[in-house]
Amino acid sequence: MTSFFSSLRVSNYWLLTSSLGKIIKLLKDNPNKYFTAKEIAKKIVSLYPKEYEQKRKNPRFKDENEFISQVVAEIGALKNRIIKQNSNISWRDKPRPRVYWFEETKLILKKKSSNINYENEEEEKRATKSLRESQ
């Protein structure tokens, strides 16, 4: 049992110290605010300067813009993992540029032919009850 909790703490620590964790925390701390990948990159680099200090020193980055562009590319590469880590985070591709945001209350509806699948059973019960009352 102890090893389970130890691994849980390690994975939570990793999530908070990884780029993925930093992105999720930024979005979560700013609910319903839209960010482009470039805005996210600039914010996390300024919020966590020590973590990006070594990467910034890489000689392939001629200037700050090239460095930020690399962080932006990494954010784009993580977009599907960001969504998998937290279902309250969304992104939209069009119109460009892609934007990311955190919704405090999000009801995910997935259409399968004419059926609607709710994210959780509670939401489905409420919707069904509401539908019955309206008929």
List the beta strands (DSSP E) in the chain.
35-36, 89-92, 99-102, 109-112, 115-118
**Averaged pLDDT, 4-11:** 45
E strands within 51-126? 89-92, 99-102, 109-112, 115-118
- What pLDDT does 104 receive? 84
The model's pLDDT over 86-132, given as tens digits with 9 standing for 90+, comes to: 999 999 988 899 999 999 876 554 444 335 555 666 666 666 655 55
Mean pLDDT of 20-45: 96
- Residues 100, 82: contact at Cβ < 8 Å? yes
CA torsion 54→57→59→65, rounded to 10°? Answer: 110
pLDDT confidence of residue 6: 46
pLDDT at 10: 42
The fold for domain 2-102 equals: Arc Repressor Mutant, subunit A (1.10.10)
What pLDDT does 90 receive?
Answer: 93
State pLDDT tens for residues 55-95: 999 999 999 999 999 999 999 999 999 999 999 999 998 88
Q: Does residue 102 contact residue 32 with C-beta atoms inside 8 Å? A: yes
Beta bridge partners of 111: 116
**Would you call the peptide bond into 97 cis, given omega within 30 degrees of 0 as the criterion?**
yes
**What confidence category does residue 18 fall into, taking pLDDT thresholds of 50, 70 and 90?**
confident
Q: Are strands 35-36 and 89-92 parallel, antiparallel or unpaired?
A: unpaired
Residue 28 has pLDDT above 60, yes or no: yes
Q: How far is CA 15 from its chain centroid? A: 12
pLDDT at 11 over 60: no
- What pLDDT is attached to residue 135? 46
